[in-house]
């Protein structure tokens, strides 16, 4: 019985590694401008090797990889909210005549 338990734990760890590499490859290929399908295909078929292949792919011109860099930046709000945006949260509507 202990043999099956050890094999099950290893299989679970390999399954997690397989799924994580597939999701990371899909995210990276989408950021590099190739679409999620290419990365997901590489990640699911080739596992960690597919992730390495996607890492080595160059970013396409105009892609998020080229525009924003390797990691996406968290953007701060730079504009003032309008009264219409304030009512989206369930607040009171603005008085008539103000927009």
Angstrom CA distances, 30 to 26, 40, 66, 82, 94, stand at 6, 10, 12, 33, 41
Query: Taking a C-beta distance cutoff of 8 angstroms, is the pair 24, 43 a contact?
Result: yes
DSSP secondary structure code for residue 69 in this structure: -
Domain ranges of the chain: 25-66
Chain-wide mean pLDDT for the chain? 82
> What is the per-residue pLDDT across 49-87, written as a single tens digit (0 to 9) for each?
999 999 999 999 999 888 888 887 777 666 665 655 555
């Amino acid at each position: 019985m202990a043999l099956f338990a050890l094999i099950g734990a290893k299989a679970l760890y390999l399954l997690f590694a397989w799924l994580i590499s597939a999701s990371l490859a899909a995210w990276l290929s989408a950021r590099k401008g190739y679409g999620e399908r290419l990365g997901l295909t590489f990640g699911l078929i080739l596992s960690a090797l597919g992730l390495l292949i996607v890492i080595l792919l160059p970013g396409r011109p105009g892609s998020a990889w080229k525009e924003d860099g390797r990691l996406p930046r968290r953007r701060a709000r730079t504009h003032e909210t309008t009264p219409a945006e304030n009512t989206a949260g369930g607040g009171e509507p603005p008085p008539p005549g103000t927009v």
